């Protein structure tokens, strides 16, 4: 009896897969939002989704773009390449006009081929891997954040010039983002000729105890640490450095510059440096966007909110300026038209990077990240 039921369910499942996917035939502008919305990296993808939804709601209330309503289609990719391809194909089959995403560089690499073939432009708020724009392989890729080599260069020059470090230990979490930042830092430290990289090593994320590698840092006599990775590992390293009474500066990338790090590292965070997108909180556009968010959700906007907001604004502006959603028109509009966004007045250069965004160095002072001029 049970077995018949199982068999029937299987047949139903097989049959339902034959049903072709239905698509909307309405006259709207469809923007796909691809990124991690579930899983352990969801905190990096959800703020962009929320930002896009907010912008869409505002624009729709004011009459839409070119008379059409804006529709937002979120698609989860969990930052995994195989799921990113699924997400990309789904968005293409649902007929999106533009995509905002993806969030992780790896997922973006996997999905871009699919968008390229479908002639769809993708604007990412956070994929900072330099080859995505600089290799020229993805002419349909744009981003509203500066690439990683800028960050690495900034960290390296800050350490050697401003902090006067002579022996720098560079650590990373072996991940794509973290190691990328570490590689660039190393490259620029060595190119600068003012300091030596005495240690370059990867730590295992999720390990219980990093005191071995910290002891190694001390043994090499390093007077500064540059770390590539995210805030969980960074806070563990900083805490253990303090417990071993090591008083040397610690510099992390924008994966460290956030409330997550402050929350977890607590008092150990004091004095830590991090590079992050230039402080745009003084801009009126940014303040307005963030105030809207807080009044709607009751908490501070999360990571990449500003960049996601800006991406949405840039796209809608480009659609308005070019009078439609066709590829050539949008490409021209994005590269030539300046637009006021939550990260400033930007347009995109020939390769797809945003002009007018950059990185600054921040330091934790009194429990908050403060931009250093």
Partner 1 sequence: MEYFLELSCSGLVRASIYALIALGYTMVYGIIQLINFAHGEIYMIGAFVALIVSGVLTIYGFSGFSILVLAGLIAVIYAAAYGYTLEKIAYRPLRNAPRLSPLISAIGMSLFLQNYVLLAQTPDFLPFPALIPDFAFMEPIAHIMGSPELVILVTSAISMVALTVLIKYTRIGKAMRATQQDMTMARLVGVNVDNVISMTFIIGSVLAAIGGVLVGSYIGQINFYIGFMAGVKAFTAAVLGGIGNIPGAVLGALVLGLTEAYAAGYISSAYEDVFAFGVLVLILILRPSGLLGKAVKLKV
Partner 2 sequence: MVDNVKQSVLVALWFVFLTFPLMVVKVNTLNNIVEWRWMNMLWVAIGAFVLSIVWRWAMARRQLKNKKAEIGEEELTQAGLWQRSTEDPKIFKPVLTVIALVTLVFPLVVDIYQTNIMVLALIFVVLGLGLNVTVGLAGLLDLGYVAFFAVGAYTYGVLNSFFGFGFWISLPIGGLMGALFGIALGFPILRLRGDYLAIVTLGFGSIAKIVIENWEEVFNGAKGIANIPRPGFFGAEMSITSATVYTYYLMILMVVFAIFITNRLKDSRIGRAWMALREDEIACVAMGVDMARTKLGAYAFGAFWAGLAGVIFAARNTYINPNSFTFMESAIVLSIVVMGGMGSIVGVIIAALVLILTPEYLRAFAEYRMLMFGAVMVLMMIFRPEGLIANVRRKYAGRKVVTEDANV
Q: Does residue 20 interact with partner 2 by CB under 8 A?
A: yes
- Give the C-alpha separation, 2 to 56, whole Å: 49
Q: Does residue 267 interact with partner 2 by CB under 8 A?
A: no
| CB-nearer residue toward partner 2: 125 or 178 | 178
Q: How far is the CB of 44 from partner 2 (least distance, A)?
A: 15
| CB-nearer residue toward partner 1: 121 or 234 | 234
Sole binder of partner 1 in the list 239, 257, 314, 319 (CB under 8 A): 239
Q: Does residue 252 interact with partner 2 by CB under 8 A?
A: no
Q: What angle do CA 203, 220, 255 make, to 5 degrees?
A: 35
Q: Are 119 and 96 in contact (CB under 8 A)?
A: no
Piece in contact with partner 1 (CB under 8 A), picked from 76-84, 129-137, 208-216, 337-345: 208-216
| CB-nearer residue toward partner 1: 12 or 207 | 207
Q: Does residue 198 interact with partner 2 by CB under 8 A?
A: no
Sole binder of partner 1 in the list 30, 143, 236, 290 (CB under 8 A): 236
Q: Does residue 201 interact with partner 1 by CB under 8 A?
A: yes
Torsion angle in degrees (nearest 10) through CA of 131, 320, 73, 48: 60
Chain centroid offset of residue 11 CA: 42
Q: Which of residues 241-280 bind partner 1 (CB under 8 A)?
A: 243-246, 260, 263-266, 268
- Give the C-alpha separation, 283 to 192, whole Å: 34
| CB-nearer residue toward partner 2: 215 or 259 | 259
How far is residue 138 from each of residues 114, 123, 229, 275, 351, measured CA to CA in Å?
11, 11, 26, 27, 9
- Give the C-alpha separation, 222 to 169, whole Å: 6
Q: Does residue 213 interact with partner 1 by CB under 8 A?
A: yes
Q: How far is the CB of 299 from partner 1 (least distance, A)?
A: 13
* Site pattern 170..189 for partner 1 (x: CB under 8 A): ----x---------------
Sheet with 354-355, side-by-side order of all strands? 339-341, 344-348, 354-355
Measuring CA to CA, which residue among 139, 74, 77, 72 is closest to residue 105?
Answer: 77
Q: How far is the CB of 211 from partner 2 (least distance, A)?
A: 20
17 contact, one of partner 1, partner 2, none, CB 5-8 Å limit per kind? partner 2
| CB-nearer residue toward partner 1: 235 or 307 | 235
Residue 299 CA neighbour count, 13 Å, CB half: 6
Q: Does residue 119 interact with partner 2 by CB under 8 A?
A: no
DSSP state string for 109-174: HHHHHHHHHTT-EEEESS---THHHHTSS-TTEEESS--HHHHHHHHHHIIIIIS--SEEEEEE-S
Tokens 């796909």 belong to which residue? Answer: 32
Which residues in this chain contact partner 2 in the complex, by CB under 8 A? 3-4, 6-7, 10, 13-14, 17-21, 37-38, 76, 80-82, 85-86, 89-90, 92-93, 106, 109-110, 113-114, 117-118, 129, 137, 174-176, 178-180, 202, 259, 263
């Amino acid at each position: 009896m049970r077995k018949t039921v199982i068999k029937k369910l299987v047949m139903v499942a097989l049959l339902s897969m034959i049903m072709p996917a239905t698509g909307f035939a309405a006259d709207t502008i469809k923007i796909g939002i691809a990124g991690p919305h579930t899983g352990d990296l969801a905190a990096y993808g959800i703020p962009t989704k929320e930002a896009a939804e907010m912008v869409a709601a505002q624009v729709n209330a004011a009459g839409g773009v070119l008379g059409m309503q804006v529709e937002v289609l979120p698609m989860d990719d969990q930052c995994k390449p195989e799921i990113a391809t699924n997400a990309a194909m789904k968005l293409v089959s649902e007929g999106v006009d533009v995509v905002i995403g993806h969030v992780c560089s790896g997922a973006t690499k996997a999905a871009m081929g699919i968008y390229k073939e479908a002639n769809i432009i993708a604007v990412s708020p956070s994929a900072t891997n330099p080859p995505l724009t600089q290799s020229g392989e993805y002419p349909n890729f744009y981003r509203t954040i500066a690439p990683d080599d800028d960050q690495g260069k900034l960290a390296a020059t800050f350490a050697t010039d401003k902090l006067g470090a002579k022996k720098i230990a560079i650590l990373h979490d072996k991940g794509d983002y973290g190691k990328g930042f570490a590689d660039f830092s190393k490259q620029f430290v060595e190119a600068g000729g003012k300091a030596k990289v005495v240690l370059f090593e990867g730590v295992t994320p999720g390990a219980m105890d990093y005191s071995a590698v910290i002891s190694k840092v001390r043994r090499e006599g390093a007077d500064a640490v540059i770390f590539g990775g995210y805030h969980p590992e960074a806070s563990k390293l900083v805490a253990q450095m303090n417990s071993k009474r090591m008083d040397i500066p610690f510099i992390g990338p924008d994966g460290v510059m956030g409330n997550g790090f402050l929350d977890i590292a607590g008092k150990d965070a004091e004095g830590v440096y991090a590079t992050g997108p230039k402080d745009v909180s003084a801009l009126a556009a940014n303040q307005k966007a963030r105030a809207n968010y807080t009044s709607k959700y009751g908490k501070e906007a999360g990571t990449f909110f500003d960049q996601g907001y800006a991406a949405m604004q840039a796209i809608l502006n480009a659609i308005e300026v070019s009078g439609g959603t066709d590829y050539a028109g949008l490409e021209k509009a994005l590269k030539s038209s300046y637009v006021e966004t939550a990260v400033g007045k930007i347009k995109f250069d020939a390769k797809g990077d945003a002009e007018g965004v950059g990185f600054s160095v921040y330091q934790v002072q009194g429990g908050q990240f403060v931009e250093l001029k």
